[in-house]
Structure 1
């Protein structure tokens, strides 16, 4: 698909700046850390909350992302870190400039070294199914965490589709906290001592096959297999099938065994996953430090086209002494839910008893 004045898409660096991505850097602060635990400012505007599953995925109504205050945006960052991914409907006023404005509140915006971007803002990447021929391998239909090959991978991604397929085209997320939490203690201890190399290999292959010039260096980076989310303090598995090439310091056979097992859990455990059906004006924001996602490539010949802003985070780390888990945090929530259910059942039984006595 050729670039035209109408679509304003820059396909490769021959049409732009070959060093744009070289300015990528890391966040100097952790967005959402220290925000109000109750998120009172954020939820003051929420008219409806829909949790897609107990531990991952929430849809919020009543929020205008283009009108968030600074306090609300900080509380939203914290909420996304806790819930993994948060969705919003009817955000027609969240245009390219507003996406950039929101993402910039949370950290420096990432310039992708290869994916086509908006002509006016190189930080805004264009996800257009017409730019991805059916035979081309791409990360839109494979499980991954955005740009994990970078020294400072993404913290948050903000995605809005402007063209929605008439059918298909959902996106699925998997919970990295839960992947870690359900491992046996011995395997947890083993993985906590490992690092893994994340690479840009799939982009190098595409570049070799097409001759497309990049917007900057295609990086490889080593990150801990178990990562601490700096907002929640919870541990998450941090490998993915697209960008993680190998486990460092073990044999190739052992590396394959470890990565294959983690990939199997990430991609096949339905109880870790949530699926979102896009509508025009919908926006998804997710935490790449603790989730994995994939587009569902079932919508051709329909078109799916949208814009994504990717926020650069901190260099991944594992804090053995001070990290907690989602499972531990969830235990208190689960007790509260059970207590409410028991209280409701007791109240109903008492009301039924009084009704029976009156009738008698």
Structure 2
């Protein structure tokens, strides 16, 4: 019987015994965060500082210990991640392997990756270690993707913590799929909403052929809508990515390539959709794969980095024609911000006028 291949304490290739580990992957039985308090009062009661990276996308929270969340705070955090796309935390020293798994399981069943090396004691924990040969992230660094979109039940949330970071470089960038959809023309939105695409694990099949590594389970192909409804927010998002989306169904190969290349180009080049995170030791990022894309930046060699991630399996992707959009939901907030700025400017102008009148 073939045995596991282990490097630096990481299982990088399956044995006969665990070659079907990933076959236990299941669909979520509930939608974490759906119906949570819109104001998230329980969560924000513990927040000492909030930093929004852009008005619509990306938030960093201070004062939260992810191992101490109550059930209500956990649900509100899931809702916040779905709304903001990605939420960052610093100094999560207490989030050891057991706590990492415990946190992920609050939101659904944990995915076991069919190829990426995993922790010896917790197969749900994948290990992203640049020292493992071949490097575990050579195939997705500098390539925009949504985690394991080739699965029948792709990832809802991913929880990534970096334990060892390079002295420089090694950032991660996220892009907002809601905003990508919102900025398309009405005619193109309507066209895309009628399409589905095949998401394939071809890149991992190529890697197994190149390395001879045995997988931990089946390498799946799945068909998903090109425009997806997020079940927590009810907002539409583009759901295709250049790593795993192979082809659009029902159009010619050249048409499929043109559409997918165009969407990939927007994700990569539209800076207004993006936020960039610089890791520190024990920083954590949690993101919603249903509505975001991300890529590592491979600029840190000769330094190395090591992170651990758990991936929560979500529901089967679907499109609801009656679902809303982030842009529509944002209108009230945007108007309130504008009104607040205008009020502040009026008060400032009045104060300046009063000062001028007193000195006249």
Fold-level match, TM-score > 0.5?
yes
Map Cα deviations across residues 241-271 of structure 1 (whole Å, 9 max, x no partner).
Answer: 0000000111101100110100011111001
Judged with a 3 Å threshold, the aligned counterparts in structure 2 of structure 1 residues 243 and 336 are, in CA distance, closer, same or farther, namely: same
Measured against aligned partners, the alpha-carbon deviations of 1:147-173 in whole angstroms (never above 9, x if no partner) come to 000000000000000000000000000
8 A contact 2:130–2:137 mirrored in 1? no
Could you list the per-position Cα deviations for residues 266-289 of structure 1 after superposition, in whole angstroms to 9, with x for gaps in the alignment?
111001000000011110000000
Given that residues 194 and 247 in structure 1 are in contact (C-alpha distance below 8 angstroms), is that contact kept between their aligned partners in structure 2?
yes
Is the contact between residue 198 and residue 221 of structure 2 (CA under 8 Å) also seen in structure 1?
A: yes
TM superposition shift of 1:8: 2.8
Structure 1 residue 95: Cα displacement: 1.0
Q: For residues 16 and 278 of structure 1, do their structure 2 counterparts lie closer, same or farther at Cα, with a shift above 3 Å needed?
A: farther
3-state DSSP of counterpart to 1:14: coil
Q: Mapping of 1:142-221 within 5 angstroms?
A: 142-221=143-222
TM-score (norm 2): 0.97
**Counterpart residue number, 1:19:** 20
Give the TM-score, by structure 1 length: 0.97
Superposed displacement of residue 141, structure 1: 2.8
In the alignment, which residue of structure 1 is the partner of 2:73? 72
* Paired residues of 2:128 and 2:136 also in contact (CA < 8 A): no
1:132·1:138 contact (CA, 8 Å) conserved in 2?
no
Q: C-alpha distance in 1, partners of 2:163/2:59?
A: 21
Does 2:6 correspond to 1:3?
yes
Quick one: structure 1 residues 136 and 295, their matched pair in 2 at CA, closer, same or farther if it must change by over 3 Å?
A: closer
Residue by residue over 1:166-186, the C-alpha shift from the partner in whole angstroms, topping out at 9 and shown as x without a partner, is 000000000000110000000
Alpha-carbon distance between aligned partners in 1 of 2:325 and 2:230, rounded to the nearest angstrom = 10
Distance in 2 (CA, whole Å) between partners of 1:67 and 1:92 is 12
Unaligned runs of 5+ in 1: none
Aligned residue-pair number: 356
Counterpart of 1:119 in structure 2 is 120
Corresponding residue of 1:324? 324
Shift of 1:308: 0.3
What is the deviation of 1:15?
Answer: 7.6
The 1:59/1:136 distance shift into structure 2, 3 A limit, reads closer
